[in-house]
Amino acid sequence: MTALQQPARAEGPSRPPVRVPFPVVDEVARHCLQEEEPETVHIEVHLPGRLDEGRLRTAFAQALGRHPRILMREAPGRWYRRRYEWELTAEPDVEVVSFPAPGRNALRDARTRALTEAPPLTLSPPIRLEVVQRSGPVEGSEATDAVDGTRGGAPAGGKAVGETQGRAPAGERAVAGPPSARIPAPGPGAPLGTVLFLTINHTALDGPACLRVLATAAEIYGGRDNSPAAAPVRTQETPPATEETPSNWSPPARVAPGTPEPSPGNGMLVTELPLPHRPKGSPYTVNDQLMVTTALTIAHWNREHGDRPRPLRITMPVDDRPRDATMPIGNGTRLVEVPFTPAELAAHAPADMPALLHRTATRTRALKSLSRPQLGHGAALLTAPLAPVAWRAAVTRGLRRAAAPWTSTTLLSNIGRIPYALDFGADAGRAHAVWFSAPARMPRGLTVTTASTAGRLHLALRWSRALLSHGDGAHLRDLFEHYLHSTEVTE
């Protein structure tokens, strides 16, 4: 049985809880937990209205009951056991929904908690939902409610953060495109709305699975249909001949260090951008544009910091699960790596961009079509129950350290268009912005997560404080915005 099967819940007080062995993804994550960098996924859903506390608690509890696989905790066991096991519970061990006191820093503090306080694995379910009454600007980070205040001021990587705002980065040709529309702060007398913060222990669950549970809660609360929208139809074309790509045996580029911060953990910045335009019938997708944008952003950042050009490899999660009520709950994505050569990232003038986008689309389609284990065959071998789990944990951590130079450059997780309306009814309304962020542990030290809602792109940059600072994050945000515009080409 894997984590993605949905066994029947144990019924009756006399029955012991059902136990499920950790699948590969969960076990590897459990082996490598670090207290200083909690392995959390954060989902941030912005609603225009207010939610009733009692009704939301009831709706979310019923949603958990409709997706019983989320009600789990790590079962206790002796050191010589061969497996970690999940214990499935009939009810939550803790109150999942909380309503922190509203205030000027409520948004910032909720983001901080999402990065620093992982829900414990020993209590069911390993998630929490905080309901924050919003005040102040939406965009920003966990350190300040308005990172934009650093534009033109504090240096990032040796230059003012504002130097890339509204014009091309130094040495690059400007690309025409609309300026990003910043979400305004509510005016006097305007409704402040509500922000739902869902914090997930990534050892047990991933973001798409928990978004499915939240969509069920929205449907119960508001009484409106939250069925997933149909997936967009992709243009099919004959795959070209296999191209030569950088070898996976060659260590890829690392994100160059910026101005590390003394405190451990992750930093994060969220922002809203226009969705990039692409010609109708293009063989590439918005995901391919985001992949190229991420690669060009990191290549530019590394050039600024004096790193010699090296091949980039960007990890891309692939999720083949259905999005309806039958969606398996757990860690359900598989990871593939998209390579880029230094030469193709050096040639990114407007005339070169169509070819780069086409090559990227070819690679991503080929990788998505591969049938392979979630973390590869090596991870499946590591988690085979041939020795006590404590011994396997030590071996896994040692191999992780040894393989650090071959770890991909960064991770781009594009959730895509949010498939659910997340409509909580007349009073609370429908979600107008949804952000996700993924853990950013070293040696990668940087993750890029995107989703689109209401025709806008919601970008979250998350980084290890051992690698970057908030000024660095703001500068990377500006580079990303510039290169995203550069992918809008007319063929």
Q: Model confidence over 309-347: pLDDT tens digits? A: 999 999 999 999 999 999 999 998 999 999 999 999 987
Q: Is 119 exposed, middle or buried (0-12, 13-18, 19+ CB in 10 A)?
A: buried
Q: How confident is the model at residue 102 (pLDDT cuts 50, 70, 90)?
A: confident
Contact 63, 217 (CB under 8 A): yes
User: Minimal CA–CA distance to 142: which of 191, 182, 197?
Assistant: 197
User: Minimal CA–CA distance to 49: which of 423, 475, 415, 411?
Assistant: 423
Phi, psi angles (nearest 5°) of residue 364: -65, -40
**Which residue do the tokens 């209590």 mark?**
123
Task: Supply angle C-alpha 431, 96, 441, rounded to 5.
Answer: 75
pLDDT of residue 481: 97
pLDDT of residue 235: 52
pLDDT of residue 48: 93
Read off the pLDDT of each residue in 96-123 and give the average, rounded to a whole number.
Answer: 93
Read off the pLDDT of each residue in 116-135 and give the average, rounded to a whole number.
Answer: 92
Task: Supply angle C-alpha 97, 102, 107, rounded to 5.
Answer: 80
Q: How confident is the model at residue 491 (pLDDT cuts 50, 70, 90)?
A: low
pLDDT of residue 138: 65
